Chains A and B, each alone.
Chain A
Amino acid sequence: MASEFHQKAHDTLANANLQLAIFTATGRLKDKRTEAVAAGELPDYQELRTQANAVKQHAIDNLDHYLELFESNVTARGGHVVYCKDGTEVSDFVLRLARERGAHLIVKSKSMTTEEVDLNERLEHHGLESVETDLGEYILQLAHQRPYHIVAPALHMTRYDVAEVFTRRLNVPNEIVIEKQTAMARSILREKFLNADIGISGANFLVADSGAVVIVENEGNARLTTSAPRIHVAIAGIEKVIPRAQDLATFLKLLARSATGQLLSVYTSFLSGPRRSGEIDGPEEFYVVLLDNGRTRLLPDKRKRQSLFCIRCGACLNTCPVYRRIGGHAFPWVYSGPIGAILTPQFMGVQQEPALPFASSLCGACGEVCPVKIDIPKILLELRSDVKKAETRDKQNRLEKLSFRAFAWMMTHPRVYEMAGKLLRTAGMRSLQLGPLAAWTSQRDLPPLPGRSFRERWRRR
């Protein structure tokens, strides 16, 4: 059963250039993270993780309370909160706002949440120009691709790919020097910022006690997006809310270190409401869109609820032996890697891509690096079980069922178990390289078996 997921994974595995690009880039990010959270750099790293996990747990367990608190504080600062069930409601809201204000040009800063609902496509379909301004996202928008990685969206592209996209889409001379490519994008996008009517951003955190949106970035495009146009619309998942501004002292220390190994990202913006009287610049209107889009589906199950703790640092991608081989585009939705393997089935249903929870070696590395301590391996296991339960009777693999029944019988009958062990030791490991097993065993060396089993030795003790 070669699904699209399998097919794309195989294509990536067969592409040597891509393999090198993914492995180098994720390896570098992984090493930087390891250095940044090492005991010498951040002695209280584990305590910060524990605190971040406890705060997220509390916020999600009492989500309705914090959403209402956030909403009332945004309103008190002169901003507006708009709840949206799905992508259609988000684009309807933005379209209506644009029509009422006579807006044509929208600048956007990086937001995974808007990627979820294909906002750009929806807006452009209705005649608005919506421009991504993060360099990586801008390149991808021109190339009509979706992000390859949560933090480094164009991780799979080379300077030559970028040169090709720029010359084809922007009518600029072929340029392969990265600094010059960046400067080109800067000058084109600078023009957009200064003429845009609306700026759309994501949000890393929504601070309930302040009615504030917190945005973390390195380029400055999010600051421009949220400050230059007359209207700022922040679009965030409902799970992004945290109780207090003081909690940022915990989360900000973890986020940049886990994502890129920086102590802090270059810009952290704490934005609450439109510009106040006397302030010289800043938006006249301030909206926060709170998006569900499947999130409430994750809430009933206490363990799976923790999937909503994710702060989108990407550390689990960089450390994952599967992501580092098959890359980001094999994954069926915007979220890739271990976090994608648990978010996608829960947001869209396990049927979307039943192979997803199985695309893991369960090595546990993702759970170990997660700054908010999401138990990703455990959730993967539960989703595997959900996939199996959802399969109809005739779709279940007969051989697999039979093998498990035989295995269960063997494990509950000590004599049979001992006989099987003896057989394996006498026939040797070579017996395992027969039939369908060979596909797996021919590539691997199994440890040599001892002459006698533990039970035999125990009896002869």
Chain B
Amino acid sequence: MARDYILHRVRTALGRSPSQPIPDPPPARIRIPEISLDARVASLLLRVEELAGTAVETSDPRTYIAAAMAGKSAIASNSPYLAACGITGLPGVESGITDREQLRHACATADIGITSADYALADTGTLVLLSSPAEARMISLLPPEHIAVVPRDRILSGLDELFSILPHPGEQSSSMVLITGPSRTADIEQILVRGVHGPGRITVLVAPA
């Protein structure tokens, strides 16, 4: 069997025996800077704008999205936060889908995908989305435009804080995705093109918790 063959070769080469204990790994390097929430919000907005995204702090995400839609169609996730913000009730917004095929079809035809986010990372302008019954993977991926509404208190300083809060992301979800700016490529002549497979436009709305 290839498994036993490979593991045997590895052990022989390393001079180890089966189930021999290992030395302690070097301690994980986690450094969390102390940054006020206001500074984190400011940094997040700045970084998203640098990535050619749109970033706005608003107390009324519903009105913002209603204006941004301007007659376009949208699919919203089942996040209770979006419902609480009144976004799922907007005209033109489809929500509440729990069937895989139905959702995929809706995402493939919608102009905008609207999600919440579990966290956002201030120092890189990153959204963190864990797949769940409330957040499907396709909504932030198939439509040409993605709008994410992030509760203000979910903005972390960066990767170190994320992995200290979530040392085992796999316990919560089969998929955690970090989204940093719109989908892009520079594969032809190093010319930057946005929206190659994922959304070419991204909007981050920071809203009250």
Chain B hits for A51, CB < 8 A: 26, 29
Complex Cα spacing A24 to B181, Å: 25
Contact A153 B26 (CB under 8 A): no
Given contacts A159-B188, A219-B183, A281-B103, contact A209 B168 (CB under 8 A): yes
A264 with B176: CB separation less than 8 A: no
Contact with B along A200-221 (1 / 0, CB 8 A): 0000000101111000001111
What secondary structure prevails in chain B residues at the interface with A?
A: loop
User: What residues of chain A lie closer than 8 Å to B181, measured between beta carbons?
Assistant: 266
The answer to whether B7 touches A218 (Cβ under 8 A) is no
Question: Which B residue's beta carbon lies closest to that of A28?
Answer: B190
User: Is A246 within 8 A of B136, CB to CB?
Assistant: no
Contact B175 A270 (CB under 8 A): yes
Range class of the B interface residue count: 35 or more
Residues of chain B contacted by A194 (CB below 8 angstroms): 104, 108
Q: Could you tell me if A77 and B180 are in contact, using CB atoms closer than 8 angstroms?
A: no
Check A157 against B188 for contact (C-beta < 8 Å): yes
Whether B193 sits at the interface, judged by CB under 8 Å, is yes
A406 vs B134: C-alpha distance in the bound complex, in angstroms?
78
Cβ-defined contact, B183 with A218, below 8 A = yes
- When the two chains form their complex, are residues B197 and A186 in contact, meaning their CB atoms are under 8 A apart? yes
Contact of A219 among B26, B185, B191 (CB under 8 A): B185
Contact: B170 with A281, CB < 8 Å? no
* Known A64-B16, A247-B28, A249-B163; contact A276-B173, beta-carbon cutoff 8 A: yes
- On chain A, the number of residues with a Cβ less than 8 Å from chain B's Cβ atoms is 100
Q: How far is the CA of A209 from the CA of B171 in the complex (A)?
A: 11
Q: How far is the CA of A181 from the CA of B191 in the complex (A)?
A: 12
0/1 interface trace, chain A 34-48, chain B, CB 8 Å (1 if under): 000000000010011
Say if the beta carbon of B184 comes within 8 Å of chain A: yes
From B9, B26, B133, B166, contact of A58 by CB (8 A): B26
B188 and A65 contact, CB distance less than 8 A? no
CB pair A246–B163 under 8 Å, yes or no, is yes
Q: Which of B28, B124, B126, B169 contacts A270 (CB 8 A)?
A: B169
Query: Among B98, B132, B190, which residue has the most Cβ atoms of chain A within 10 A?
Result: B190
- Please, which residues of chain A bring their CB within 8 A of the CB of B16? 62, 64-65
The segment from A82-90, A119-127, A328-336, A446-454 found at the interface with B is A82-90
Cβ contact within 8 Å between B26 and A55: yes
Which residue of A has the minimal Cβ distance to B15?
Answer: A300
Quick check: B163 and A219 within 8 Å, CB to CB? no
User: Nearest residue in B to A207 (C-beta to C-beta)?
Assistant: B170
Q: Is the CB–CB distance between A264 and B188 below 8 Å?
A: no
- CB-CB under 8 A for A272 and B159, given A219-B185, A238-B10, A280-B133: no
Known pairs A218-B184, A224-B197, A238-B6; A281 contacts B100 (CB<8 A): yes
Instruction: List the B side residues contacting A270 at CB < 8 Å.
Output: 169-170, 175-178
A245 to B168, CA, bound (A): 6
Q: Is B25 an interface residue (CB 8 A)?
A: yes
User: Which B119-176 residues have C-beta < 8 A from chain A?
Assistant: 123-126, 131-133, 136-138, 141, 159-160, 162-164, 166-170, 173-176
By a CB distance below 8 angstroms, the chain A residues around B92 are: none
Say how far A1's CB is from chain B's closest CB, in angstroms. Answer: 33
Interface positions of A from 44 to 88, Cβ below 8 Å from B: 44, 47-48, 51, 54-55, 58-59, 61-65, 67-68, 73, 77, 82-85
28 pairs of residues in contact across A and B, judged by CB atoms under 8 Å: A51-B29, A58-B23, A58-B26, A59-B25, A65-B16, A85-B5, A135-B196, A157-B188, A162-B188, A178-B193, A182-B185, A207-B170, A212-B170, A218-B184, A220-B141, A221-B196, A223-B141, A228-B104, A245-B168, A265-B180, A266-B198, A267-B179, A267-B180, A268-B177, A276-B173, A281-B131, A292-B9, A296-B6
> Which 8 interchain pairs have the tightest Cβ spacing?
A220-B198, A299-B13, A272-B170, A136-B187, A220-B197, A246-B28, A210-B170, A268-B178
